[in-house]
Amino acid sequence: MTAVFEPWNETRGGEIIAEHANQEGATLVILHALQEAFGHVPQAAIPMVAQALNLSRAEVHGVFTFYHDFRHEPAGRHVLKLCRAEACQAAGGDALAARAEAKLGVSLGNTTPDDRVTLESIYCLGLCATAPSAMLDGRLIGRLDQRRLDALVAEAQR
Ligand code: FES
């Protein structure tokens, strides 16, 4: 992933929030806009969004957690998402996820200490088959097995 993000800045965050506050579905629109600008939605932005939209922090946090694409911390250089939805789990996804966690030394939802790889869950990539699916920096990969997963992890670590 080569996207360059602005560092979090409260004034800039406030501008983004104000810009979208009157739109339909403003919570989701704002969270997306913040993540697009900063690469993540800092914890500090949640009360700002709540205040601007006259919602509780819990309501904004609820939207944040419902969508698995939002993150509170900046992502690593590469983002490896493993499908954790039912069909992929039934096809051996749990074992592959555990393997990826062991290889990278981080659990799902975290970034390696060298900031190279963020390992995340995703819920169905529309590639449901007899083997689990994944996505590396937006590229879909189907029919994963141990060998292909290892290659993917190695690619992400480069
Ligand atoms: S359940 Fe994993 S791609 Fe559909």
Residue 82 and residue 56 share a domain = no
Domain ranges, residue 24: 10-66
The CATH number linked to 92 is: 3.40.30.10
Does residue 50's CB lie within 6 angstroms of at least one atom of ligand 1? no
Q: Report the separation in Å between the CA atom of 135 and the middle of ligand 1, taken as the mean of its atom positions.
A: 11
Instruction: Indicate if 31 and 90 belong to the same structural domain.
Output: no
Banded pLDDT at 83 (limits 50, 70, 90): very high
Banded model confidence at residue 1, pLDDT cuts 50, 70, 90: very low
How many percent of the chain have pLDDT more than 70?
98
**Is residue 57 packed enough to be buried (19+ CB in 10 Å), middle (13-18) or exposed (0-12)?**
middle
Are 144 and 96 within 8 A, CB to CB? Answer: yes
Which of the listed residues 133, 135, 140, 149 should we mutate to test ligand 1's pocket, taking the one with most ligand atoms within 8 A of CB?
133
- Residue 150 resides in a domain: yes
Please give the Cα distance from 109 to 122 (Å, whole number): 10
Q: What is the pLDDT of residues 13-72, one digit of tens each?
A: 999 999 999 999 999 999 999 999 999 999 999 999 999 999 999 999 999 999 888 999
Q: Are residues 82 and 60 both part of a single domain?
A: no
Q: How confident is the model at residue 3 (pLDDT cuts 50, 70, 90)?
A: low
Residues 153 and 83 in one domain: yes
Number of independent structural domains in the chain: 2
pLDDT per residue as tens digits for the range 87-146: 999 999 999 999 999 999 999 989 999 999 999 999 999 998 889 999 999 999 999 999
If you average pLDDT over every residue of the chain, what do you get? 94
| Dihedral sign, Cα of residue 51, residue 52, residue 55, residue 57 | negative
